[in-house]
Amino acid sequence: MAINSEVLVIGGGLAGLTSALKAAREGSDVRLVSYKQSSLRHASGLVDLLGYTPDGAGPITDPYAAMSDLHDAHPYQTVGTETVREAMDLFDDVTDYRGGHTETNALVPTHGGTIKPTARYPTGAAAGLASDDRDVLLVGLESMVDFDAPHAAAHLAAAGVPFDVRGETIRFPGDLQADAKITRYAKLLDTNGEIAVRGRKKGARDALAERINTVREKEPRVGFPAILGDDHTDAVRASLEEKIGADVFEVPMGPPSLPGLRLEDRLFEALDDSGASFETGNPVVDFDADGDTIETVYIEKNGARIPNSADQYVLATGGLVGKGIESDRESVHEPIFDCHIEHGEDRYDWFDRDAFGDHPFARFGVETDESLRPLTGSDSVEFENLRAAGSVLGGYDFQAEKSGSGVSIATGYVAGENAAAEAQ
Helix (H) or strand (E) holding 410: helix 404-423
Q: What is the pattern of x (binds another protein, CB under 8 A) and - over residues 270-309?
A: --x----xxxxxx----------------x-xxxx-xx--
Q: How many residues does the chain have?
A: 424
Counting contacts by CB under 8 A, is residue 2 touching another protein?
Answer: yes
Q: How far apart are CA 287 and CA 382, in angstroms?
A: 14
Choices 14-22, 29-37, 53-61, 286-294; region in contact with another protein by CB under 8 A: 29-37
Distance CA 43, CA 254 (A): 7
Task: Establish if 181 lies at the interface with another protein (CB under 8 A).
Answer: yes
Write phi, then psi, for 299 (nearest 5 degrees). Answer: -100, 130
Closest approach, Cβ 283 to another protein, in A, equals 9
> What 3-state class would DSSP assign to 166?
strand
d(Cα 38, Cα 341) in Å, to the nearest integer?
24
Query: What is the C-alpha to C-alpha distance for residues 324 and 362, in angstroms, rounded to an integer?
Result: 13
- Smallest gap, in angstroms, from Cβ of residue 7 to another protein? 15
Least separation in angstroms between CB 82 and another protein: 34
Judged by CB under 8 A, the residue of 154, 159, 170, 180 near another protein is 180
Is 62 in contact with 110 (CB distance < 8 Å)? no
Which is closer to another protein, CB of 7 or CB of 156?
Answer: 7
| Choice from 133, 217, 290, 328 touching another protein (CB under 8 A) | 328
Instruction: Report if residue 408 touches another protein, rule: CB under 8 A.
Output: no
Based on the shown chain and the rule CB under 8 A, indicate whether residue 202 belongs to the binding site for another protein: no
Among 102, 177, 214, 378, the residue binding another protein under the rule CB under 8 A is 177
* Burial of residue 161 (number of CB atoms within 10 Å: 0-12, 13-18, 19+): buried
Residue 188 burial (CB < 10 Å; 0-12/13-18/19+)?
A: buried
Q: Does 154 bind another protein (CB under 8 A)?
A: no
Give the nearest distance from C-beta 271 to another protein in angstroms.
10
Nearer of residues 231 and 352 to another protein, judged by Cβ: 231
CA angle 94, 231, 240 (to 5 degrees): 110
Q: For residues 277 and 274, what is the distance between their CA atoms, to the nearest angstrom?
A: 9
Which of 19, 28, 39, 368 is the binder for another protein (CB under 8 A)? 39
Instruction: Count the residues of the shown chain that bind another protein, applying the rule CB under 8 A.
Output: 44
Omega of the bond prior to 256 within 30 degrees of 0, cis? yes
* Dihedral over alpha carbons 254, 258, 259, 260 (to 10 degrees): 70
- How many whole angstroms separate alpha carbon 250 and alpha carbon 391? 27
Closer residue to another protein in complex, CB, 245/256: 256
Minimal distance, residue 195 CB to another protein, in Å: 9
Binding interface with another protein (CB under 8 A): 1-4, 33, 36-37, 39, 41-42, 174-177, 179-184, 187, 191, 231, 255-256, 261, 272, 277-282, 299, 301-304, 306-307, 322-323, 328-329
